[in-house]
Amino acid sequence: MAPALPASRFARPAGTPAAVVAALDAAGLGLARARIAVRLDDPDPFALRSALGALALTGDTTPLLAVEGAPVTPEVADAALVAAAVALGRPEPALTGLFAGRPPGPAVRAVPVDGARFTALRFPRGEPPPPALIGATESWSVAELGDVSVATVRCIVEVSGGVALGSDYGLTIWKNGRFTPFPWPAGCRREARRVEAMALDRGALWVATSQALVRWDFRGEPTIRKHGADEEEGWDELRCLLAGPNGLLRGYRTRFDGGDAPPDVFSLVEVPGGVVYAGTGAGELHVVDACGPLRCFASGPHQPVRHLAFADGALHVAAGGRHHRFDGASWSSTAPEPTAFSVDRRGRLWSLLDGKVTVATREGTKVVPAPVERPWSLCAAGDRLWIGGRERVAALTIRGG
């Protein structure tokens, strides 16, 4: 008998098991999750971890493969082996990737893990990105941007035709080879223009400052909404923004807006398939609109997950003094902790490590000369890599692919 499960967030479609599987798979649960959901009476797919564990303790894993004559695909076989792994004392959820927010659907592939005893689903990984070659380099002082001469460019995001460059004193738009000041509302003080995060969502630029959330459609006046006071007689902080699959996600210090995630989210990233990961101030990794935490990277206080990225078939996490990588089946980590990530249109991962700009390849990490002292932020936009730092910003032309 299947174990008792939490109430599902998903409505069970009517029809034969085959029809239910097709409907759930079309809804984005993925083939393996859909088949198991049918067998276990449609639980929340992220609650299946505990359900499989209960089945494994009784040694009863065969029902997972017996969905009225459905073919035993690699995905279904993976689910049964997950349960076997739990029964054998290998409950690490990252062994499988199935319940860690991997992209659903047929793009995943089954590969052997730990010899031939286990099978796991890995993130899709195509041909390796081409080598990156650096061409022409341009550099400007922040004063040339129209900003305060001692400003640090802390946040860069790609917009149509260029980039938005946010500093601790203001915001500048580079578009079609020209720098244009952001049209701040009248009376907006300089201390209220400190840019904490930005995102482009449905054609509008969203800017999180130290005191407000600003929206601009590149045509009229921007709209501004104050964050509101916190319980300490100050302003609530808005630390990260992401244009998610269902709208704008906003991670405040005291709450999360736009989906189901804990408060105090520092970083967000969407991976193929519409799954969104969130990193918190407590060093935890969550999946938005799912259970969690999936993993904790903090070994002490004040070690948040500051940066997340997805590149070349792996989730990249900057936390706890290290660079962690998850390929959908297993984790690896190296020191030091990156202070920025960016992924270009060819899927190459660019990082800031110990004040140096690096680009990842499957053979190792290459350091790229950068004409910016104390670099702070990165943004790969089109055929350029933008590097923001104290008092300067640079743009490197990327060649190769």
- The rounded distance, in Å, linking the Cα atoms of 257 and 225 is 14
- How many C-alpha atoms does 243 have within 13 Å on its Cβ side? 14
Domain identity same for 116 and 260: no
Token pair for 238: 């808005």
Token pair for 146: 């129209």
**CATH assignment of the domain containing 209:** 2.130.10.10
Q: What 8-state DSSP symbol labels residue 110?
A: E
Domain identity same for 46 and 151: no
Domain identity same for 330 and 204: yes
Domain assignment of residue 10, yes or no: no
**Least confident range of 116-120, 241-245, 300-304:** 116-120
Cα 308 to chain centroid distance, Å, stands at: 5
**Least confident range of 6-15, 178-187, 273-282:** 6-15
* Over residues 139-154, mean pLDDT: 93
pLDDT digits 0-9 by tens, 278-300: 999 999 988 888 756 778 898 88
Domain assignment of residue 11, yes or no: no
- The rounded distance, in Å, linking the Cα atoms of 102 and 172 is 36
Instruction: Read off the pLDDT band of 73 (50, 70, 90).
Output: very low
- The rounded distance, in Å, linking the Cα atoms of 386 and 75 is 40
Give Cα separations from 252 to 192, 246, 288 (angstroms).
17, 18, 14
Domain assignment of residue 7, yes or no: no
Domain identity same for 137 and 89: no
- The rounded distance, in Å, linking the Cα atoms of 38 and 200 is 38
- The rounded distance, in Å, linking the Cα atoms of 130 and 272 is 20
In the chain, DSSP finds a helix count (H) and a strand count (E) of 4, 29
More confident residue, 234 or 112: 234
- Enumerate residues 6+ apart whose C-beta is below 8 A from 99: 45, 46, 48, 49, 93
Residue (of 93, 156, 113, 92) closest to 287 by Cα position: 93
Q: End-to-end alpha-carbon separation of the chain, Å?
A: 54
Domain count, the chain: 2
DSSP class per residue in 260-289: S--S-EEEEEEETTTEEEEEETTSEEEETT
* Over residues 2-22, mean pLDDT: 54
pLDDT of residue 45: 47
Q: What is the pTM of this model?
A: 0.74
Domain assignment of residue 8, yes or no: no
More confident residue, 226 or 353: 353
pLDDT of residue 24: 63
| pLDDT surpasses 90 at 231 | no
Domain identity same for 101 and 189: no
Domain identity same for 227 and 88: no
DSSP three-state, residue 31: helix
Domain identity same for 46 and 169: no
User: Could you say which of 89, 122, 155 is where a domain stops?
Assistant: 122
Domain identity same for 292 and 326: yes
Domain identity same for 161 and 43: no
Q: Which domain holds residue 181?
A: 133-399
